[in-house]
Structure 1
């Protein structure tokens, strides 16, 4: 999803980008990576738009800021919404892809997408996942023409990352709010709380919505350790290949 169908004139001049995520920790719903980009010459103005780390803002304020930035012709934005089923599938593969790798790939994908649109990116600011310096080197090796700044709490240090934080958070909140439960079991509810593992309402919802054969609704990241406690109530599956010692290639 991109904010511009045609490339604005300012995008052909040196541009900066911020990248941040929302929904890394919850056991429910997607993880969303968002980016915000603009001309480097617009950076000082950017600091006057009242962007801040999305976690410090109330929902109404985040929504208003998101609508304002969408309407601003001098800003561009994009998101990568990673479905909970994709997260679980990657983390449970035989050769596992951990959450840090998924995060790094998503951020790199946003950079690639914006570059492919023709935007002249020269600087990218990223809220770190893992060691900041190792992450910076990884990004710099992949995109040698771009200067990367990777930092902890980047969403509170750099307005362009604060804006990306708002893009990611509002997109995830809307995705969760509008989520259509595909499952048709009786007594399914949407009273799942915040989606964080420590939330009593979320834990109660998981308890009520587990199935002995089919597991959890597709909203759930079933690879999360939070879900392990419920597995003792589920039917054990034995694969033919396990019993016979056969192998799949």
Structure 2
């Protein structure tokens, strides 16, 4: 494919995603690991049960929820806290980070209640365990932070990119800091790692030098407090997607919520993406436009738009070095073989139109 055509396609994809996600460019994210194929019936409105901690309306901005501080956690001198996430790899929907905390003296009680690796549990089992949290408000506390797909796109597509690892680290730090600010004396934290465990641990220790951190892979299967956090994150994300409210007018009754799992390896997700793409406007804001899966579909199926600036990065003809030693009194542009200065391209008409809009 000629370079000019590739540049045009890239700008087309960026234009489509800008309309839907207020983004300015496209980037690629690492391909997530293969995931089990979802049951398309689990993402339908009929299966949706509203959870009290999830706000009404579209999920266009990120938000947090913190449970009441358990009485035992407020009175004890030592609390352990687990951190995990859900929805890091999917091409659509939010990414949810969660923490769960209990007194150090009761951390083994979580295992007796039934908390285990949420990824090994069926959806109904996770829902039941999430309800268990509300049955023990005197000693189990929890919190979630929901990163909206729109905010994820904007972080990863802006000029000073904020990648997914940095977003995950910052979210974890904010959750821990807020729990501490609420008066909980956290002494131990167990984290399911994002990126290299050692560097992540050092970053956390630099922010919280008085806390003992354990950062490792598969922490949700090793520590019950991380498993509880994992269930909070997973149940919250699933509920948001099942009851997804489209921010775009008129789509609630037209677009299916059979998203599948959201992973690019899920045929149900790919089917949804292929069936709901608009050649001009792309996708609604449930999509993460920074994912390569989305970018590829927009390039292949979106309208190809030629922008006035397409030729700005056209390579120019280099002046012959002999021109530097030309006749006395002459300039390089006067020498044979050199190219006259190029006229600065006109500004895109859309920016000139915006001046009139902003002056109203």
User: TM-score, structure 2 length as denominator?
Assistant: 0.65
Residue 201 (1) aligns with residue 264 (2): no
CA distance in structure 1 between the aligned counterparts of 2:284 and 2:347, rounded to whole angstroms: 31
Partner of 2:95: 31
Q: In the TM superposition, what are the counterparts of 1:61-80 in structure 2 within 5 Å?
A: 61-72=125-136, 73-80=138-145
Please state how far the C-alpha of 1:244 moved relative to its aligned partner: 4.5
SS of 1:47's equivalent?
helix
Alpha-carbon distance in 2 for matches of 1:129, 1:119: 25
Alpha-carbon distance in structure 1 between the residues aligned to 2:298 and 2:73? 54
Q: Report whether the alignment pairs 1:175 with 2:240.
A: yes
Q: In the TM superposition, what whole-angstrom CA distance separates every residue of 1:208-248 from its partner, at most 9, and x where no partner exists? A: 212222221111111101112212232437487x75579xx
Count of aligned pairs:
245
Does the CA contact (< 8 Å) of 1:3 and 1:70 recur in 2?
Answer: no
| Structure-2 change in CA distance of 1:237 and 1:158 (3 Å) | farther
Gaps of 5+ in 2: 1-64, 313-344, 349-360
**In the TM superposition, what whole-angstrom CA distance separates every residue of 1:123-156 from its partner, at most 9, and x where no partner exists?**
1000000000110000000111111110000000
SS in 2 for 1:55: helix
- 1:8 corresponding residue in structure 2: 71
The aligned counterpart of 2:159 is 94
Q: Which moved more, 1:212-221 or 1:24-33?
A: 212-221
CA RMSD of aligned residues (A): 2.0
Which of 284, 306, 331 does residue 217 from structure 1 map onto? 284
Displacement of 1:93 in angstroms is 0.7
1:37, distance to aligned residue in structure 2 (A): 0.3
Structure 1 residues 1-249: aligned runs within 5 Å: 1-4=65-68, 8-12=71-75, 13-72=77-136, 73-183=138-248, 184-185=250-251, 187-232=254-299, 233-235=301-303, 236=305, 238=307, 244=346
Bigger Rg, which one: 2
Contact residue 88 and residue 221 of structure 1 kept, 8 A: yes
Distance change (3 Å), C-alpha of 1:239 and 1:32: farther
Deviation of 1:11 (Å): 2.5
